[in-house]
Structure 1
Amino acid sequence: MSTNQSQFATYEQAVPPVRPSHRRRLYFAIAALLIVVVIGSGLAIVLLSPRTPVTAQQPIVGHAFFVSSGQLTLFSDRGIADQVQINLQNIPDPQAGKSYYAWLLPDNDNNSRVTPIFLGQLPVKHGQVSVFYPGDTDNTDLLASYSRFLITEENASQVPTNPSLDTSTWRYFAAFSQAFNPAASTSVHYSLLDHLRHLLARDPSLEKAKLGGGLDTWLFRNMEKILEWAGSARDTQQSCQSTPGNPQCAAFIQRQATRILDYLDGPYITRENVPPAIQGSRLLVDPTIAQVALLE
């Protein structure tokens, strides 16, 4: 999913609703955080398996992934998980005159006014299915409102506008868990779905600061800037080796290091620990992005 890919989890067939050098350490830390960014956008939703009694072991027949188009905007969740990739294996051909259809469904909430999204018809070739849903023109973050995946087998002559309410047409179904963890040692209990949305759609603490998008998005933005400043400080240090003690070189490197601290600790903590002579009288970084401190 460009650099970001959110796996749906595994699918089950539908059951009716029932210490090296300092520089190396810095690079390793940055690389590790970037890996978190990539993996953080590639979390699983659900697995699909053939329709058997709930008590029987259900074989996995495929995966679906939320995919990022990369068309991100600064203050919204657009472009984060706005596409879907479906890959299935060992799928029998549909019955004569029938076809498979894939759908995204909203949360299991009777009060939801969100309508299902038709992901496409699923052609089966030698038991394999591979379909890509490109999303809409607004790059809507699908994970923000959708948490269930359904495949129906319906008439091939007419593409349905909504999934059938007749559960006998349901062939594969999967969903993120919306169950809360009562053992969590927090005042507010969240489900797996909640945690995924905090990463890839919207987070309560960010919404209070009027920042759109999930934690993963802001982590990526901060890491981009840290890599930029660390690289420029390194290049300056190397270019100034011919003039050791150059005050302009030292001042520039200090400013870049302060910018990095602003994004790691947040500007308020940085001001408490960095001497005013280095910090200066004004913030050296984007105050909006700096609200989301990486180490907070």
Structure 2
Amino acid sequence: MRITMQNIANPAQGKSYYAWLQTDKQAFIPLGELPIHNKNIDFTYPGDNNHSNLIAYTQGIQITLETAGSTPKAPSNNIAYQANFAVTTLAEIKNILYATPDLPQKSSVVVNMFDAIKSMNDKATSVVDSIQQTKDYNLARRQSTRLIEIIDGTQYARESGDLPAALPPQLNSPIGLLSSPNQQGYLDILDKHLDNLKTAAGNNANLLQRIQNAKNGLQDLRGWLQQMRQNDVQLLKTNNLASNNNLSAALQLKQLAAYAYTGRTIPPDTAPKPTPGSAGALQTYVEVQYMAALDLQAVK
């Protein structure tokens, strides 16, 4: 957890700002003393010893004035700043960032999506290296098999014929990035929960913009993943990975995977943005993380 504040007045002599995490059980967890540098605070809480996902039980943040150098066990009534999640949106934010009901073991859909696309980027690079440099065509087929399993899910990749019967599965992925007739993919699961959050957001302009930015990324990802599927299926079904045509397909696959992972820079921009045609998994992930940001307000 990171706390950043600007133009903060220095506390009275002998006092310091202390941060507290307010849990959904109305308990307070001490985060630590907040040092001020040039009227600014930039504080990072490394987490607890169990590496808990803080969003699982966070209701809000309080900053109080306490005796400098002390280690208070509970916050005083001298509250300087505070912020709380809206009750209407907190449950859906937790569904997206902590435990998604649609997924096995209630893992986070946005984390699973991001990890899958990061893995795809590595495998697409390996496919090109195996064809172009090491000539290890068996490894190239195994990596191409893993890619189609990540995109389709293993069962649908086999049923659809995208994964030829002669090639054994490598991952046994129960859920793909894209949806199949009998299983929603990670992109559509995330999109559904973004729609739910949008309904609950009311007139929260910042949250609505984050939702739209994330949806921009999902739309781009659908297009790039469909193209990746076409190129990957070509590689899976060929008998000659050494041909120039298939090398070209592999190079395109690698480029599409890079777009899907880190986004695409559209000149005159110098880096990808969470806008249509530019946003990839990284931009989507960041925008979703910002949905859990809280705006600290001074208590008068």
Q: CA deviation at 1:223?
A: 1.9
Structure with greater helix share of residues: 2
Task: Give me the identity figure in percent.
Answer: 30
AA in 2 matched with 1:266: G
Deviation digits for residues 40-76 of structure 1 (CA, Å, limit 9, x no counterpart): xxxxxxxxxxxxxxxxxxxxxxxxxxxxxxxxxxxxx
SS in 1 for 2:87: coil
Rate the CA distance shift 1:227–1:157 in 2: closer, same or farther, 3 A.
closer
Partner residue in 2 for 1:141? 53
What is the aligned-residue RMSD (CA, Å)? 2.6
Rate the CA distance shift 1:174–1:292 in 2: closer, same or farther, 3 A.
farther
Q: CA deviation at 1:127?
A: 1.4
Query: Aligned partners of 2:139, 2:165: CA distance in 1, in Å?
Result: 12
- Structure 2 regions of 5+ residues with no counterpart? 179-184, 186-300
Aligned length: 179
Query: For the Cα contact (< 8 Å) 1:218–1:292, is it kept in 2?
Result: no
| Selected match of 1:172 from 81, 84, 98 | 81
| Selected match of 1:283 from 160, 164, 169 | 169
Partner residue in 1 for 2:12? 95
Deviation digits for residues 12-54 of structure 1 (CA, Å, limit 9, x no counterpart): xxxxxxxxxxxxxxxxxxxxxxxxxxxxxxxxxxxxxxxxxxx
Q: CA deviation at 1:258?
A: 2.8
Deviation digits for residues 257-288 of structure 1 (CA, Å, limit 9, x no counterpart): 23211111111211121267x24474321x3x
Rate the CA distance shift 1:275–1:214 in 2: closer, same or farther, 3 A.
closer
SS in 2 for 1:96: coil
Partner residue in 2 for 1:105? 22
Structure 2 counterparts to residues 165-204 of structure 1, below 5 A? 166=77, 169-179=78-88, 191=89, 193-204=90-101
AA in 1 matched with 2:169: L
- TM-score normalised by the chain length of structure 2: 0.53
Query: Aligned partners of 1:240, 1:155: CA distance in 2, in Å?
Result: 65
AA in 2 matched with 1:293: G
Partner residue in 2 for 1:154? 66
Query: Aligned partners of 1:275, 1:92: CA distance in 2, in Å?
Result: 62
Rate the CA distance shift 1:236–1:157 in 2: closer, same or farther, 3 A.
closer
Query: Aligned partners of 2:42, 2:139: CA distance in 1, in Å?
Result: 51
| Selected match of 1:232 from 120, 126, 136 | 126
AA in 2 matched with 1:137: N
- TM-score normalised by the chain length of structure 1: 0.53
Deviation digits for residues 192-234 of structure 1 (CA, Å, limit 9, x no counterpart): x23332332211112xx22x53112212331233123212221
AA in 1 matched with 2:159: E
